[in-house]
Amino acid sequence: MSKLDEKIEQYTKAAKDLGLGLDDAFIAKVTKGLGPSIHNKDAETVSCSDSSELETVKKNFLIKKLGLEDSDALDTAIKKVCEAMGTSNRNKYRALFYALLAKEFGKESVYA
């Protein structure tokens, strides 16, 4: 099993444990889209308590990758995903975080 397959399996299990309702194939596509960053412990997760990191998620993922306009709706969605993944959950995996955001805005087709 490749390291990528191991990460996909890890994220799929975490999504099921958290009851996120994400499709396994979609998790795999988002994980592949993140490239080597998933193998870096710090880059692999999103810290909801770090406002600069959340701003980076908004600018680089929601606006650049998904092509959304900057608005309060983006901040609201990020906050919603933080809550969905659990405020006490220390492993908010970036792949799942991005998958939930893409799903929230109906932008799954970006990973088609």
Threshold 0.75, pTM exceeds = yes
- Which contiguous run of DSSP H or E holds residue 33? helix 24-33
Domain range for 102: 3-111
Q: Which SS3 state, helix, strand or coil, does residue 21 take?
A: coil
Contact status, residue 54 vs residue 78, Cβ threshold 8 Å: yes
34: nearest Cα among 109, 92, 93 = 93
Q: What is the CATH number of the domain that holds 27?
A: 1.10.238.120
| Structural domain total, the chain | 1
Q: Please, are residues 92 and 85 in contact by the beta-carbon 8 Å criterion? A: yes
Q: Determine the length of the chain.
A: 112
- The predicted-structure confidence for 27-49, as pLDDT tens digits, reads as follows 999 999 999 999 999 999 999 99
52-99: pLDDT as tens digits: 999 999 999 999 999 999 999 999 999 999 999 998 898 899 999 999
